[in-house]
Structure 1
């Protein structure tokens, strides 16, 4: 039996987990818009937007930053915008899809020295 040396990771998808969490919250959001639970959705979405935006900056994919800055502002729970109607209901799954696409596309390639330290 020969021991295999581990190969360095080619890239990391750090934005995938927060993107999935935000997408789950946003797909549930239309059911909770009229309730007090929607405040929790706003917190989750705004925080995950900041996290995914930060991972996009780390991965040097700057074009995602305005998208997630806008999501963080629109869904912000501190000074909320009182949107309503069919456009606001339709915005929930659209933002969920944006989170899923970003989670799949934002890739961070660690430096060779970082990959070998593991």
Structure 2
């Protein structure tokens, strides 16, 4: 059997793992809104958005920083905004999709 030589990837997507975790949490978030568990969701989302924004900064993809910074501010657990209703429920999967797109597009060339 002939083994095929695998070509290593020329790019790495550092923001993909935090984005996938945040998206999974955000897709679960509407079910937990109004409970005490939503504070944990706010912490997780805000922290992972800050991490993804840092990776966007390192990759010099500046256009993702305002989007991820807005997620950090809106989901911050320290000074939470009193959002409720269908708009806030729709914001959860919208932010999840933003995370998925950012995680797949933020990449840096491997040395």
Equivalent residue, structure 2, for 1:22: 22
The Cα of 1:57 is off from its aligned counterpart by 0.6
Q: Normalising by structure 2, what TM-score?
A: 0.92
Q: Normalising by structure 1, what TM-score?
A: 0.86
Equivalent residue, structure 2, for 1:44: 44
Equivalent residue, structure 1, for 2:72: 72
Structure 2 residue runs without a partner (length 5+): none
Q: Deviations over 1:38-62 (max 9, x none)?
A: 0000000000000000000111100
User: What is the CA–CA distance in structure 2 between the aligned matches of 1:107 and 1:75, rounded to whole Å?
Assistant: 25
The Cα of 1:6 is off from its aligned counterpart by 8.0
Deviates more, 1:67-76 or 1:8-17: 8-17
The Cα of 1:9 is off from its aligned counterpart by 3.9
CA RMSD of aligned residues (A): 1.6
